[in-house]
Amino acid sequence: MTVKANVGPDSTVSLQEITEQTVVPICKLSDTLSEHQKKMVASNAVSIAQAHFNPYAWFRAIYADEIPVGFIMLYDNPELPKYFLWRFMIARPYQRLSYGKKAIQLLLNYVKTRPSAKELLLSCGEGEENPEGFYTKLGFKRTGEVIDEEVVMMLTLA
């Protein structure tokens, strides 16, 4: 998979529902990750399957213009309320083009519309190619909690 010439850092990023026509390309994005990155996040195929069996899963494909570049999934339980970034990935050819930052901002905009949303939580693994630095730059801070050997981070919503 190579970056399309017409896709760049100024492309419009959007979160789009996954359809019968788009599910395979979204699943194939996981194949572009490095071996270390594959250990940090479940494949998009597994994530999409899990989402179909969890009533609190809210998931979308990440697009740059009309090109699928990633996947995002939120645990969205307004009854608690608990909002947790469950899965997030940007395909390797599209990393470092600001798509991840823009997708997280779109997710934050969505979460802010949810009942009693005060914070967004996530967890991430430690080790080579871990995403903690990316999340820290976006304002997430470690909570001191660890879930399944992953550090928990939180962003307070304004």
In a domain, 67, yes or no: yes
pLDDT over 70 (residue 2): no
Q: Is residue 3 part of a domain?
A: no
pLDDT digits (tens, 9 = 90+) for 87-135: 999 999 999 999 999 999 999 999 999 999 999 999 998 888 889 999 9
The CATH number of residue 95's host domain is 3.40.630.30
**Closest Cα partner for 41 from 109, 103, 92?**
92
pTM for the whole structure: 0.93
Can you give the pLDDT at residue 84? Answer: 97
Domain-located, residue 6: no
Query: Per the domain annotation, does 8 fall within a domain?
Result: no
- Residue 82: which pLDDT band, with cuts at 50, 70 and 90? confident
Distances (CA, A) of 141 to 39, 123, 129, 138: 22, 11, 18, 9
Rounded Cα gap, residues 57 and 74, in angstroms: 6
Residue 111's pLDDT is 97
**Which residue is associated with the tokens 């999934």?**
73
So what's the pLDDT on residue 81? Answer: 82
Please give the average per-residue pLDDT across 147-157, as a whole number: 95
- 24-74 pLDDT, tens digit each: 999 999 999 999 999 999 999 999 999 999 999 999 999 999 999 999 999
SS3 102: helix
pLDDT of residue 153: 97
4 belongs to a structural domain = no
Residue 102 counted as domain residue: yes
Q: Is 7 a member of any domain?
A: no
Q: What is the pLDDT of residue 3?
A: 47
Q: How many domains does the chain have?
A: 1
Asked if residue 118 is part of any domain, the answer here is yes
Which range marks the domain in which residue 21 is found?
13-156
